[in-house]
Chain A
Amino acid sequence: MRTDDLIADLSTRLERVAPSALTRMLAAAVLLGLIGSVILMLSALGLRHDFARAITSFGMWTKLVYTLTIAAIGFWLVERAGRPGADMAQPVRVLVLPVLVIVVLAAAQLLTPGADIAHLILGHSSRVCAFLVTFTALPTLAASFWALRRMAPTRLTLAGLGAGVFAGAAGAFVYSFHCTEGSAPFIGIWYSLGIVSTAAIGGILGRSLLRW
């Protein structure tokens, strides 16, 4: 096909695109992914038995705020990653904030006189926590990849990492409704490790799966 003909063809097929179209598509996709993660958590792991009581506890809110903040920044990362020429440095810098907060909170809890340091760090589920966070994140990771493939990622590994951060944090958020831990050191270490693992999977898969 001649390039002139292509241009003529493309311009006759032009349709209006709403400025928010891309972000709406991404939001709809990750919402579906999130629903998938919730169903996976409820069916494979189950809601924590003392949920009604725990929802008001400080530990529960530490988990929810920490994971939700990172998920929001992760969403921002994915949205940037899908736009050619957009800078990802800004969301990456903001990512330091929640990490800083959890580190300070964890230090405060560890330094409290009489604290059971081993229990604060290891809880009773440290062996499975990161793995289960990543497991719960998988439907959201798949949905983020699906959405990114409809966008225009130009740095595929970076885009995959961003999708992994988002999905990992969203998975951690959903997982915190199953998990009974609530200490800041535990969350700072094992939840973060789950998010990092998901990000690593995203980065590795991004190179091949995000090509368009």
Chain B
Amino acid sequence: MIAQEAQYRDWMLAALMGDAGAYRKLLEGLTRHLRSYYARRLDPAAAEDAVQETLIAVHTRRASYDPALPFTAWVYGIARYKLIDEYRRHRRRATVPLDEAADLFSHDETEETIARRDVTRLLDRLPPAKRQLVKDIKLEGVSVAEAAKRTGMSESSVKVTVHRALKSLAEDVRDGEDPNADR
């Protein structure tokens, strides 16, 4: 069973009884999971729309939740339906990735924020010029040719610089300089 099931189910049952406070917590919690779920499957603007559409569906269709069944499966059913709907509207994909309810609840925005912060902290150890190169090429997806033009370096030295920078960061992490390490 999904870890958050009991908590969410309690909130939902209270919400169905008319408890606005529990309902608010429920919607805020779901928003974090939904943002992450759609961000991995849609482009940013469509993702936020899908989050809102799903929240509205949760609201207007809340009578369709059967307390005898898992709440997480119910929300996941709606989230997936809205995803398929989005794909269908833009005729982007004929098939929908196979996943399950656990997929919706195994990620949330907080985790991704932490990961992003870790990367930023790690990158801060590099000298500014190198940091910019690694950020551009590895995170922003700028091409090597483009980065070379921006910095005035040759393409091959851009590649070498990025490669060395990553290698030194990897060594730092291996040596226990993991930004996550408790010290």
Interface residues of chain A, those whose CB is within 8 Å of chain B, are: 1, 3, 6-8, 10-17, 19, 21-22, 25, 82-86, 151-152, 154, 211-212
Given contacts A12-B20, A16-B18, A151-B64, 20 further A-B contacts (CB under 8 A): A3-B31, A6-B52, A11-B23, A14-B23, A17-B63, A22-B63, A83-B65, A83-B69, A83-B74, A84-B61, A84-B73, A85-B69, A85-B70, A85-B73, A85-B74, A85-B75, A151-B61, A152-B64, A154-B77, A212-B57
Secondary structure at the A interface, as helix, strand, loop or mixed, is loop
With the chains together, A12 CA to B20 CA distance in Å? 7
Could you tell me the distance in whole angstroms from the C-beta of A72 to the nearest C-beta in chain B? 18
Which single member of B56, B57, B66, B75 contacts A83 (CB below 8 Å)? B66
Give bound CA distance, A118 to B182, whole Å.
85
- Chief secondary structure at chain B's binding surface: helix
How far does the Cβ of B112 sit from chain A's closest Cβ, in whole Å?
Answer: 16
- A-B contact number at CB 8 A: 84
Asked if B16 lies at the interface with its beta carbon under 8 angstroms from chain A, I say yes
A-chain residues with CB within 8 Å of residue B57 when the two chains form the complex: 152, 212
In angstroms, Cα B28 to Cα A181, docked, is: 60
- Please determine whether A11 and B52 come into contact, CB atoms closer than 8 angstroms: no
B77 contacts A7, CB within 8 Å?
no
A119 CB to nearest B CB, Å: 47
B138 to chain A, nearest CB (A): 30
A48 vs chain B, min Cβ distance (A): 40
- B149 sits at the interface (CB 8 A): no
Q: Which of B78-86, B127-135, B154-162, B163-171 has 4 or more CB atoms under 8 Å from chain A?
A: B78-86
Considering the chains assembled together, what is the distance between the CA atoms of A84 and B81 in angstroms?
A: 9
Shortest beta-carbon distance from A78 to chain B in Å? 12
